[in-house]
Amino acid sequence: MGFTCYADISTLPGHYIFYWELKAKTISDIVELDNKVLVECCCVMEESLCALYREMRSKDGSIGALEIRVVKQGTFNSLMELAISQGAISLPHLSTRLLFASSLLKP
């Protein structure tokens, strides 16, 4: 599984969006998850984040609900190629999850 995260501040309150690229047996296979599974994954992820996040999420309300979006296989490679074509440095040990160009991740 590959992933990256984007802090979406276009909504109030802002929230984090995690993009997951799930690996299937073959590149042509489509990975589909039940909505209930995704909701449970969001809950588990939120519980695993730091106490400050949980406080701002539940008591304070200044952070909205975490969101997970599943992208098709090859998306992160395509993003990396796009970033490199726009001048990003290609380093073999860096992965797509380290891309800081938020314009590449906006929904």
Residue 27: pLDDT over 80: no
The mean predicted confidence, pLDDT, of the chain is 80
- Which is it for the CA torsion 102, 104, 101, 39, positive or negative? positive
> Where in the chain are the domains?
2-104
What are 58-100's pLDDT values in tens digits?
Answer: 888 899 999 999 888 888 888 778 877 877 666 665 555 555 4
- Please give the span between the terminal C-alpha atoms of the chain, in angstroms, as a whole number: 20
3 state SS of 75: helix
| Distance of alpha carbon 21 from alpha carbon 96, whole angstroms | 11
Judge whether 73 and 21 are in contact, CB under 8 Å.
Answer: yes
How much is the pLDDT for 2?
81
| Distance of alpha carbon 77 from alpha carbon 86, whole angstroms | 14
